[in-house]
Amino acid sequence: MPDPTEDCDVLIVGGGPAGATAGIILARAGKRVILLEKTRFPRFHIGESFLPRTFRLIKELGLEPALRKLPHVPKFGAEFVTADGAHDLCFDFSQGFSPTDETINVERAAFDAMLLEQAGLASADVRQDVAARRIISMSDGDVRVQCDTGEIRAKWLIDASGQNTLVGRHLGTRKTADEPHLRKAAYFNHFTNARRAAGRRGGHPLIVMVDEGWFWMIPLDEQRTSVGLVMDAEISRRVQRESGLAADRMLQWGIERCPAVAERMAEAAGPETNHVAADFSYRCRPYAGPGYFLVGDAAAFMDPIFSTGVCVAMTGSAAAAKSVLSLLNGSASPRRCRAAHIKLLESSTRTLFTIIRQYYDHSFRELFLNGTGPLDMHRAVIGVLAGNVFPMPWRLRWRMGLFNLCVAVNRHIPLVPRRDRHSLLGRQPLAVAT
């Protein structure tokens, strides 16, 4: 058993992609790192589709060989389609001012376990099945945290605790987004033999747009596909009340009422029930403070429509780890490092929150499905969807500003052909073989 009080340079709470990334960087630099993970890996998790910016960081960390050993599907773009299948947009990331146009889809249980193992191989002290219970005190150079095995004292804390938001709850800074339309519920599971496109498009995640939210279909390997439905939380509760349907049956309910998904699931096989997750967007500002840095979902949680979760987690965590290295090496001041981290997360998440809000605006969907626009605006949108917001280059920033203006104008004056809206409510169920 460890001593009641232990000392280290950096305490990382959470072993997901954010925590493991920080652990790899800091341990490789020779720092004493303790990484606590309250569960045991591998464990089921969604968020299986990675952005090119994530893949670039994986390469930079030298983890590509380990990643390639996992069952995965190459991903070069994405496809968005209306519920009836009548209108779609299929794009490659190479169209979007992106220095990297390749990435992958991979089962998170396997990926997260690999990443955590790499942190251990880098000499981080990885402890699974050990939870951080409470923060005793936090100040620059002196952090004390009570965990299952006793007290741990560190010079710095990186909070990668996910939706548990250890620091956010301790400081009372966790604030749920006040826009009702961002309050969602997600229903999902893995299926075999779902239909997918051939060739280069075979790894494209499919996003199907409906008034109540959206579906995802993400190829994970040769047989399995991750399928999910994200719905407005209040509408979902109303459907369950009026139909007497349990929450773990909502995915099938949605598939049966969406022709574009039902067609692809006609020969699929999988469980009759689904996983359920509440999807309430929130922030825990400030993202850094005396003794701590927040990364991943411990800093902010966003609707997963554009698969930004792992990208924000790993990229923000890599930046936090480098700031902590500077602090430990005495080459930067806490004030400077905090300001840089806050600026990075504020600017990147602001861009992503904006485009997520717009996604639920029918005007945005009409412009987006049009596929092209003046001054390469469509390329800027694709560049953002590739994860190029850390920070966002000027050539994307001004084009996105112009695109946002077009979304506002299009609500009143048609800039592109109008598209029909599609609702799941009131539709008769289609026959699906799942």
CA distance 326 to 216: 40
Q: Please indicate, yes or no, if residue 28 is contained in any of the structural domains.
A: yes
Domain holding 24, by residue range, is: 5-76+104-176+281-346
Q: Please indicate, yes or no, if residue 416 is contained in any of the structural domains.
A: no
CA distance 171 to 285: 10
Contact 85, 141 (CB under 8 A): no
Q: What percent of the chain has pLDDT over 90?
A: 76
Q: Indicate the number of domains in the chain.
A: 1
CA distance 306 to 351: 12
Mean of pLDDT values over 234-248: 93
The CATH number of residue 287's host domain is: 3.50.50.60
Q: Please indicate, yes or no, if residue 147 is contained in any of the structural domains.
A: yes
Q: Please indicate, yes or no, if residue 84 is contained in any of the structural domains.
A: no
Mean of pLDDT values over 90-111: 89
Kindly report, residue by residue over 142-201, the tens digit of the pLDDT.
999 999 999 999 999 999 999 999 999 999 999 887 666 678 899 999 999 999 998 889
3-state secondary structure of 178: coil
Q: Please indicate, yes or no, if residue 46 is contained in any of the structural domains.
A: yes
pLDDT > 60? residue 356: yes
CB contact burial 180-199 (16+ within 10 A = b; e otherwise): eebbbbbbbbbbebbebeee
Q: Is the dihedral of CA 102, 106, 112, 117 positive or negative?
A: negative
DSSP per residue, 11-35: EEE--SHHHHHHHHHHHHTT--EEE
Kindly report, residue by residue over 342-354, the tens digit of the pLDDT.
999 999 888 888 8
Q: Please indicate, yes or no, if residue 303 is contained in any of the structural domains.
A: yes
Q: Cis peptide before 42, with omega less than 30 degrees from 0? A: yes
CA distance 298 to 166: 7
With residues binned 3-state (H G I as helix, E B as strand, rest as coil), the percentages for the chain, rounded to 5, are 40, 25, 35
CA distance 25 to 118: 10
Q: Please indicate, yes or no, if residue 322 is contained in any of the structural domains.
A: yes
Contact 212, 423 (CB under 8 A): yes
Nearest to 206 by CA among 91, 325, 51: 91
Kindly report, residue by residue over 280-318, the tens digit of the pLDDT.
788 999 999 999 999 999 999 988 888 888 999 999 999
Q: What percent of the chain has pLDDT over 70?
A: 97
361, HSE (Cβ side, Cα atoms, 13 Å): 18
Q: Which phi and psi angles does 257 have, rounded to 5°?
A: -115, 10
CA distance 294 to 313: 10
The one-letter amino acid code at 338 reads R
CA distance 224 to 100: 26
User: How far is CA 112 from its chain centroid?
Assistant: 13
Write down the mean pLDDT value for the chain.
92
Strands 292-294 and 150-159: parallel
Q: Please indicate, yes or no, if residue 22 is contained in any of the structural domains.
A: yes
Contact 328, 155 (CB under 8 A): yes
Better-predicted residue by pLDDT, 430 or 8? 8
pLDDT > 90? residue 270: yes
pLDDT > 50? residue 137: yes
pLDDT > 80? residue 393: yes
